[in-house]
Amino acid sequence: MDFQFSEEQRDFQRTLRDFVDKEIKPVASEMEKSGEYPTEIVEKLKAMGLFGMTVPEEYGGLDLDPVSFAIVFEELARGWMGIAGTLGSHSLSCWMIAHFGTDDQKNRYLPALATGERRTGVGLTEPDAGTDLQGIRSTAVLDGDHYIVNGSKTWITNARHADPLPIMVKTDPQADPRHKGMSILLMDADTPGYEVLRDIGKLGYKGPESCEVVMKNARVPVANLLGGVEGRGMQQALPALESGRVNIAARSVGIAQAAYDAALDYARERTAFGKPIADFQAIQLKIADIATELQAARLMTYWAASEQAGGRRADMQSGMAKYFSSEVAIKASLEAMRIHGGYGYSTEYVVERLYRDAPLMAIGEGTNDIMRMVIAKSLVSGRDSIG
């Protein structure tokens, strides 16, 4: 087993790390406190081509391999997890269009999505349907060459900038099993009857907006049915979510790395009883735990990414990586706060932001309890094994 990046991947990581250290870390805390949208940083992400990470080269994208994809999200989250959010659902949506879209849909959307001229997200979650996607209530009724769409979505990242926004709907509410009646429509931002409502207040994950979206008799052309065939929505969304779990795992590693860096630096500088607190065994044990679990999370994340890079089904691997790494991020941010003592509770230090950002990693792209069920199902079925 090879646990090393290629030289090309290592150079890519260095470029991203330098960018994060110079352009994101110095401004992240102040921008997060002020609620300012990171417009300048987003423009620089565009210039680097990162909005085209999952877009094929023929449409102007980078078409990154899964390992390089994970590198992007680890490094960005190390600087500010919110910035990673501007690319997360955008990249997932681009992946779906690239893999399942019709030739017309790819030609219409992907070139502008690759440059960031257009942005996108994913409209799956509803007020009464998060983990259970088959429980969505949004419907699309065929009316000539359009679908009439009614329903609502919530917690939609990038909603105010998404054009198009792929939305999951029921084109056949009576289908049995339910997933055979589900489809994805590409909702253009200027569609009459489609409206982005309020931004949802959040504990952390500041920067990108998370919004409520409503469709009231919105008319969507049949040409915007993803893939051109009804009933394929779940088949299109689930593989994308598998990639999304590696994204979340990598973000978690970035948060944990930032927590470790902050804790170690502070322990070396802070003195008590005449010496650095890093000399005290109690602090050393915390640092050792953070470092060990961080490295385990990183290896698991890139193991899952390498499985995807090999073209293998990786729902168990990505589930393990997302579950374990997100729990490590939560623990690392808490332990870093404890090492900082009272200062860890202050908004003057980065660890309080990490502590607020980390819990989302255990919720996004499927809760960790669901991840445990995905892992167990793969093992019990015999499709995957350990050892």
Q: Is 365 a catalytic residue?
A: yes
C-alpha 99: how far from chain center: 18
**What's the start-to-end Cα distance of the chain, in Å?**
13
**What CATH number should be reported for the domain holding residue 22?**
1.10.540.10
pLDDT at 1 over 70: no
pLDDT at 242: 87
Residue 331, pLDDT score:
98
CATH number of the CATH domain containing 274: 1.20.140.10
Active-site pick, 32, 212, 242, 365: 365
pLDDT at 129: 85
Q: Which two tokens stand for residue 352?
A: 């309080």
Q: What angle do CA 48, 52, 53 make, to 5 degrees?
A: 90
Q: Is residue 151 part of a domain?
A: yes
**44-89 confidence digits (pLDDT tens):** 999 999 999 999 999 999 999 999 999 999 999 999 999 998 999 9
Are residues 227 and 239 both part of a single domain? Answer: no
Q: What are phi and psi of 185, to 5 degrees?
A: -110, 140
What pLDDT shows up at residue 332?
A: 98
Q: What percent of the chain has pLDDT over 90?
A: 89
Rounded (10°) CA dihedral 124, 154, 133, 63: 30
What digits encode the pLDDT tens for the residues 303-358? Answer: 999 999 988 888 899 999 999 999 999 999 999 999 999 999 999 999 999 999 99
Give the CA dihedral 352, 354, 359, 362, nearest 10 degrees. -160
Instruction: Work out the average pLDDT over 239-243.
Output: 89
What DSSP character marks residue 385? -
pTM flag (> 0.85)? yes
What mean pLDDT, rounded, does the chain reach? 95
Report the percentage of the chain scoring pLDDT > 70. Answer: 99
Domain contains 121:
no
Is 213 in the same domain as 255?
no
Q: What is the mean pLDDT of residues 262-278?
A: 97
Parent domain of 107: 7-115
Shared-domain flag, residues 377 and 240: yes
Q: Looking at the structure, do residues 344 and 370 belong to the same domain, yes or no?
A: yes
> Do 245 and 308 fall within a single domain?
yes
